[in-house]
Structure 1
Amino acid sequence: MQSEQPSPDLLAPLFAPLTSLPGIGPRHASLLEKIAGGRRVLDLLFTLPERIVDRRILRTVAAGHNLAPGEILTARVRVVSMRKAARPGQPSVIRTEDDTGRLDLVFFQQKNMPAPTVGAELLVSGKTSWFQGELTMPQPDHVTNWSKRESFPRLEPVWPLTAGLFPYTVRKAMKAALALLPDFPEWQDPALVRKRRWLSFSQALRLIQAPENSPADVEWAPLRERALTRLAADELLADQLCFGLARLKARSRSGRSMPGDGTLRAELSRRFGYPPTEAQSRAIAEILKDMASPTPMMRLLQGDVGAGKTFVAMNAMLQAVESGAQAALMAPTEILARQHFETLSRLCPTECVYLSGTIKGAARRETLAAIADGTAKIVIGTHALFQDGVTFADLGLAVIDEQHRFGVEQRMNLSAKGEATDILVMTATPIPRTLQLMEWGEMSVSRLDSKPAGRQPIRTTLHSMEAMPDILAAISRAIADNVQVFWVCPLIENSETQSAAAAEERWAMLSERFPGIVGLAHGKQDIAIRQAALEAFRLGETRILVATTVIEVGVDIPNASVMVIEQAERFGLAQLHQLRGRVGRGAKKSFCLLLHDGMATPTAVKRLTLLRDTNDGFMIADEDYRIRGGGDLAGNRQSGLPGFRLAQGLRLSLLVTAMQQDSERELDRNPHLEGKRGVALRTLLMLFNRHEPDRLLISG
């Protein structure tokens, strides 16, 4: 039975381009696209204000004397006099007063200066400062005639801007967009709406984007909090519904059973020589059971640094080979892919081949032929694996390492290389439980929560950058003890170019102190030069490697037992934990020195202290989420969830759990989203672009 679809008339105005808004031409639309992240009216509506300026409290001028720096003064004043600038570069001043004191309104641009008459009453608002003993308001935010105070923005949204885009343009566009916002059918559970005293979705969005229209008799802060919570809940419900539909579709898809006979896995265990940990045994059992089932496998293998994910993945790949199929392992960098190839070639009792963009000529043709005719049972490589010229004889299992570094289309292309291909995704970045629900909700999860015996504990210490002389002395002692040292330079405004420059500067300084034994590796180098630097360090030809985060994954050098990270407060905790995991791989005691700026904030130092006090990546990830409120995985946004527009800055872990439970209940009783309730939920999915669960199924 065909399910009823949402009304196109309801959604079409929101999906229309920004140029459809009255008064918004192509130039303004292109600027609005930059802040909205898209060209639709809906993208603008989902651009939440960065803050709300509260101008509701009317103060006297005398009360303005006691305001903290940056605090807003809103006052009713009379015009005493006006003085226009005598020459360019001088300010113009409107002198005003009330019964308690005098306030000078200062304008540095003549065109922005109003022209009230002396004696006129004004409503003014802005930040104040002192100049030659006088209270001034430089460049007032608003100057309104008192008789027109009804138009004064008492609660003013402040949206993000870009060069050439002014607040009044955003305000005009947002007002026009809100006029197109319909009243949608309710998709949240009615009991939950009543319990939480939620506004409807459209009412909540209007309240946040146009707060000046909020009811005057209702306390603003709690009302705004409820509106933000409502909007976040809607986005989270859409996400969890999409995951739930993906799971339902996964269970209905025909797959293939790959039980294997255990012969190759037994030989792997013999060659490995160590018993697996309890966590590894559990994960292997879960994965092999999935592969033996006729339902396609979609599983996440989540393991901390050094937890032994590769050994688990090898067992899965060999079970595919035992069943007559091929397996592929895709890694995001050539360094990591080559490391996997060396490990698998040494331990796996079957034919392994390597493919990357650097494999050329006859070697490439030979490798492609082996993949196509099935001679190559296990294929390891980079994104080259999913290119058009690569054909598999029978790809049964795709293992994707460090999944977050690949785009959806790339993952789709790899899984499409086979029929009903099982997918195993590995990540060494510990994922907070809340993010796990969000990012991996359509997958089963196997978690490696312990490490193999023999891994050395790493002692982590915190130091101010001012302690550099002591750090260099410690490095001298380490080198004298035949130890190798990683020296990681800071992230600089997400600029690889600037980070590379910082690394080159540090390399020059260290080379002067330790001549002939310092290498350099960063992302702006030619790949061959970078590979040569890493190889020289691996062979011990250099003793110190200055690098950016190119060494975050896939660098395994047992003799390196000291990690120095400059300006560690610039990194996310999960990334610091990954970098720290580059040491502690050999027999010697290992150290991680976190250098922070002397002006680092208390929150930044608290985060680094957490890293100092524990080596448990899962605890670090969960605590970092609690401290920062989520944050973008790339580190740009400090609150909210990655990839989300409205789910920001709230107690998200409780809200995610509630929306997951609501989604499961809804799909249990209405799996095909039929009837009026189904139409409402389908509308929700379309609003948040979560109406294609198939993309989740085939991409991981």
Structure 2
Amino acid sequence: MAGRPEILFPLFGTLDSLPGIGPKTAENLAHIGIEKPRDLVFHLPHTVIDRRPVPTVQGQILPATLTVEVTVGRHVPARRKGAPTRIFVEDAQTTFQLVYFHARGDYLTKLLPEGSRRLISGRVELFDGEAQMTHPDHVIPVDEAHDLPRFEPVYPATAGVTQKALSKGVSGALDRLPALEEWIDPALKAQHGWSDFNDAIRAAHAPEGDDQAQAIHPTRQRLAYDELFAHQLTLAIARQAARKGAGRPTVGDGTLRQACLAALPYAPTGAQSRAVDEIAEDMAAPTRMNRLLQGDVGAGKTLVAFLALLTVVEAGGQGVLMAPTEILARQHLESLGPMAADVGVRLEILTGRDKGAEREAKLAALANGDIQILVGTHALFQRGVEFRDLRLAIIDEQHRFGVNQRLELGAKGGATDVLVMTATPIPRSLSLAQYGDMDVSILDEKPPGRSAIKTSAIPMARMDDVVARMQAAVAEGRQAYWVCPLVEESEVMDMTAAEERFKRLRAVLGEGVVGLVHGQMPPSDKDAAMAKFAAGETSVLVATTVIEVGVNVPNATIMVIERAESFGLAQLHQLRGRVGRGSQASTCLLIYQPPLSEGGERRLRIMRETEDGFRIAEEDLAIRGAGDLIGTAQSGLPRFQIADLERQSGLMETAQRDARKLLADDPTLGSDRGQAARVLLWLMEQDKAIRLISVG
């Protein structure tokens, strides 16, 4: 695919080539990501000021921004330094004052000569029962009244950039907008009653009333759709490219899987069986599998993953399971090792700790196919690790990996099928934004044998009761986590809070009973403290949130979260999921500091009401918004300029269906609509997709 289409060149010039934007303004705009005319085209106003004239300020609900025609009366100069100049003006029904501070020389007598008629517009407030307008936004001779727009858009701005400069720049950028061919499916466009792209973008910059500046207005919906469609088209192209990489059909005879299921003390849930079938079907196809297995904490993803690995072994191949940390990799080894032994499959672990002869022996066994399943960290994909016949790579805790890393990983293993697992339930709209290039299996049932978790909220004042309960539980041989509050993003403060709590609990519970883990510790110390807790050598683990992901201690039945109101919902849910992993009844105690904010109260209420991670994720999205939900920086979640994922999740699904259908009908984007879609990809700066398509 050649370079940027010539038709778009004017939108990709420099900002200071636009009217009203000098080098300084351009520099300030760069701080909010506006670097070229194209960025201003998509920089939409967030509110509108109604400048339609009214006959009088009398009877209006104040304060308000009003536009009114007046006769200018006498000027009362400032009586002392710092006091304002006041000008009396009269509209159709009443007299009020204009107030100016620091007016220089004869500026005001020229702007508002006594006896003249002027149209003035600005914020009118009551002061000591009198209406007054301080520093009007506009003062215009009556015969020039047509110059004042009836509705004035207000743009999100930054320091050093006036609304006037922004408006001028935007109008210059819109003048450069070429006529573009339509990329939206005509039936879809008609169904929503959407206008053409150029009309929609111009209307969005000239809203008539506040409702037109809202995300739900059809004009905004159309533009949000363009953005989401470009994004989903990029992911669909990535998916197409991944599938094009010839896959290999992997079909097992089911013997190992049946033996594994027969050895289990329980039957898999319906959701697990469904996911196992979807994965087996993908692996049997000649194209590469690229599937996401999404399940709530404790929904039994590990079993599904293991059955997929057994399918590969039945077919004579090898499989690998990668975890983000060594602790998690060892945990997979502990849970899968016995299952592998039951069915006579050789499973090994390879991490950075393997050295010398032992490492060499493992690498040799891997290369000649003796090791059938390998567990490890992402280091598996680096130094000299060769497989005889690698057919399936399973990546655990995907949210540490953005789309780009997935594409790189896919590029490494020739025809390897890829299955990604995440324990973070993600609302549908976000999961499409993040994983639109993948097919998704969802585990939304809890396996039998998991105990419910009783969740209570307790004020800080009752801390002593909590410590007493802890003492009783430890005496009965139970284990507990104690999570310390997050202090204003400072790891050093977090550490201090954790160390304080550790000392206090140790004083009550005794030496050697309490362990400590925080972000400032060397990884080996963290691992050691976690391992002691997992082995039952310590009864209480005091921690900052480093324990969120993964560690499985079935005997731990109490989770205390201190200052729970300072945590997000998803975090609270992840932390709670560390207990309730065995058959004993478990408890989660949310300790909070009153008074609670509205958001804090809502989060704690939802935690008490439900253990359903998907419902919690939807609520979290509604409370916090998309960017915060997965921490945009590390999630690979795109930043959308116009689209609002909380309120436009339906559009994201439509965009995914439409993008996949367009590519299925027109894989090279060669048709008229395909060519228009290519222009859209350039316009929305989806360079990754453009590169993939040109390679394809």
**TM-score, structure 2 as length reference:** 0.82
Task: Please point out which of 356, 375, 382 is paired with 1:380.
Answer: 375
Aligned to 1:283: 275
Name the CA shift for 1:384/1:114 in 2 (closer, same or farther; >3 Å): farther
Report the equivalent of 1:226. 218
Deviation at 1:456, TM superposition (A): 0.9
Distance apart, 1:231 and its partner CA: 0.9
Q: Secondary structure at the match of 1:256?
A: coil
Structure 1 residue 688, shift from structure 2 partner:
2.9
CA displacement at 1:29 relative to structure 2: 4.3
Distance 1:477 1:73 in 2: 68
DSSP-derived class of the 1:673 partner: coil
Pick one of 168, 183, 187 that aligns with 1:187. Answer: 183
**Partner SS state of residue 588, structure 2:** strand
Q: Does 1:547 align with 2:543?
A: yes
Q: 1, 6, 9: which is aligned to 1:9?
A: 6
Checking the alignment, whether the CA contact within 8 Å between 2:237 and 2:689 is kept in structure 1 is yes
Map of 1:448 onto structure 2? 443
**Residue 489 to residue 81, structure 1, CA distance change in 2 (3 Å):** farther
Aligned to 2:335: 343
Unaligned runs of 5+ in 1: none
Residue 427 (structure 2) aligns with:
432
Structure 1 counterpart of 2:453? 458
Pairing partner for 1:413 from 390, 408, 412: 408
Aligned in 2, Cα 1:665/1:446: closer, same or farther, shift over 3 Å?
closer
Tell me how far 1:172 sits from its aligned partner.
Answer: 4.7
CA gap of 1:25–1:82, structure 2 versus 1, over 3 A, is: same
- Superposition map of 1:174-253 within 5 A: 174-208=170-204, 210-211=205-206, 214=207, 220=212, 225-245=217-237, 252-253=244-245
Query: Is this contact kept in 1: 2:557–2:585, CA < 8 A?
Result: yes
Structure 1 CA distance for aligned equivalents of residues 125 and 353 of structure 2: 61
2:302 matches 1:306: no
Q: C-alpha separation between the residues in 2 aligned to 1:481 and 1:557?
A: 16
Q: Between the two proteins, what is the percent identity of the paired residues?
A: 46
Q: Distance in 1 between matches of 2:690 and 2:367?
A: 27
SS at match of 1:35: coil
1:257 aligns with 2:253: no
From the superposition, tell whether residues 509 and 122 of structure 1 become closer, same or farther in structure 2 (CA, over 3 Å). Answer: farther
Cα deviation per residue 1:239-268 (whole Å; 9 max; x = unaligned)? 444455555556554211222344554564
- What do the CA deviations read for 1:40-88 (whole angstroms, capped 9, x no partner)? 5434433444444555575855557744xxx65666665754656966x
| Aligned positions of 1:26-425 closer than 5 A | 28-36=25-33, 39-56=35-52, 58=54, 61=57, 66-67=62-63, 72=65, 78=72, 81=75, 90=82, 92=84, 94=86, 97-98=89-90, 100=94, 102-103=96-97, 105=99, 107=101, 116-117=111-112, 119=114, 121=118, 123-126=120-123, 128=125, 140=135, 142-145=137-140, 147=142, 152=148, 155-161=151-157, 167=163, 170-208=166-204, 210-211=205-206, 214=207, 220=212, 225-245=217-237, 252-262=244-254, 264-265=256-257, 268-269=260-261, 273-349=265-341, 350-356=345-351, 371=366, 374=369, 376-387=371-382, 390-425=385-420
Select the residue among 550, 574, 579 that pairs with 1:578: 574
Q: Which moved more, 1:586-595 or 1:293-302?
A: 586-595
1:409-447 deviation digits (Å, cap 9, x = unpaired): 332333333211100011111232333444334333222
Contact 1:562–1:583 (8 Å) recurs in 2: yes
Deviates more, 1:487-496 or 1:292-301: 487-496
Contact 2:46 2:213 survives alignment (8 Å): no
| One-letter amino acid of the counterpart of residue 315, structure 1 | L
What SS class does the counterpart of residue 186 from structure 1 fall into? Answer: coil
My pick for the range that moved more, 545-554 or 437-446, is 437-446
| CA shift for structure 1 position 476 | 4.7
Which 10-residue stretch deviates more, 287-296 or 240-249? 240-249
Aligned residues: 678
The separation in 2 between residues aligned to 1:334 and 1:107, in whole angstroms, is 66
CA distance in 1, matches of 2:320, 2:489: 32
Measure, in 2, the Cα distance between the counterparts of 1:656 and 1:629. 15
In structure 2, how many angstroms separate the alpha carbons of the residues matched to 1:255 and 1:19?
Answer: 50
Q: CA deviation at 1:191?
A: 4.2
C-alpha contact (below 8 Å) 2:256/2:314 kept by paired residues: yes
Whole-angstrom CA distance in 2 between matches of 1:388 and 1:398: 17
Q: What one-letter code is carried by the residue in structure 2 that aligns with 1:258?
A: T
Are the aligned partners of 1:583 and 1:590 in contact in 2 as well (CA < 8 Å)?
Answer: yes
Output the CA distance in 1 between the equivalents of 2:488 and 2:54.
Answer: 40
Q: Secondary structure at the match of 1:459?
A: strand
Residue identity opposite 1:9 in structure 2: E
Classify the secondary structure of the residue corresponding to 1:416. Answer: helix
8 A Cα contact 2:123 2:136, kept in partner: yes
Residues 150 and 411 (structure 1), Cα distance of their counterparts in 2 relative to 1, 3 Å cut? same
SS in 1 for 2:558: strand
Q: 1:507 to 1:359 in 2, by over 3 A?
A: same
Range 11-20 or range 491-500, more displaced: 491-500
Computed over aligned residues only, the root mean square deviation of the Cα atoms, in angstroms, reads 4.3
> Secondary structure at 1:207's aligned position in 2?
helix
Q: Distance in 2 between matches of 1:398 and 1:14?
A: 43
Amino acid in structure 1 at the alignment position of 2:517: A
- The offset of 1:229, in angstroms, is 0.8
2:672 pairs with 1:676: yes
Structure 1 match to 2:629: 633
Q: Which residue of 2 aligns with 1:521?
A: 517
1:561 matched to which residue of 2? Answer: 557
Letter in 2 for 1:12: F
Query: 1:483 matched to which residue of 2?
Result: 478
- CA displacement 1:352-378 (0-9 Å, x = unmatched): 444455666776666666655655443
* Aligned-partner residue type, residue 377 of structure 2: T
Matching residue's letter, 1:406: F
Contact 2:66 2:124 in 1 (8 A): yes
Residue 613 of structure 1: aligned partner = 609
SS at match of 1:329: strand
- Give 1 or 2 for the bigger CA radius of gyration: 2
Q: Is 2:65–2:121's contact at 8 Å kept on the other side of the alignment?
A: no
* Contact persistence 2:21–2:169 (CA under 8 A): yes
Give the secondary-structure state (helix, strand or coil) at the position aligned to 2:174: helix
Q: Show structure 2 runs of 5+ residues with no match.
A: none
Within 2, Cα distance between the matches of 1:508 and 1:7?
Answer: 62
Query: Closer, same or farther in 2 for the Cα pair 1:251/1:101, shift >3 Å?
Result: same
Structure-2 separation of matches of 1:92 and 1:356: 74
Say which SS state the counterpart of residue 680 (structure 2) adopts: helix
Q: Check 1:142–1:566 CA distance in 2 against 1; reply closer, same or farther (3 A cut).
A: farther
Cα pair distance change 1:159/1:665, threshold 3 Å: same
The code of the aligned residue for 2:402 comes to: G
Distance in 1 separating the partners of 2:563 and 2:581:
24
Distance (whole Å) between structure 1 residues aligned to residue 466 and residue 569 of structure 2: 22
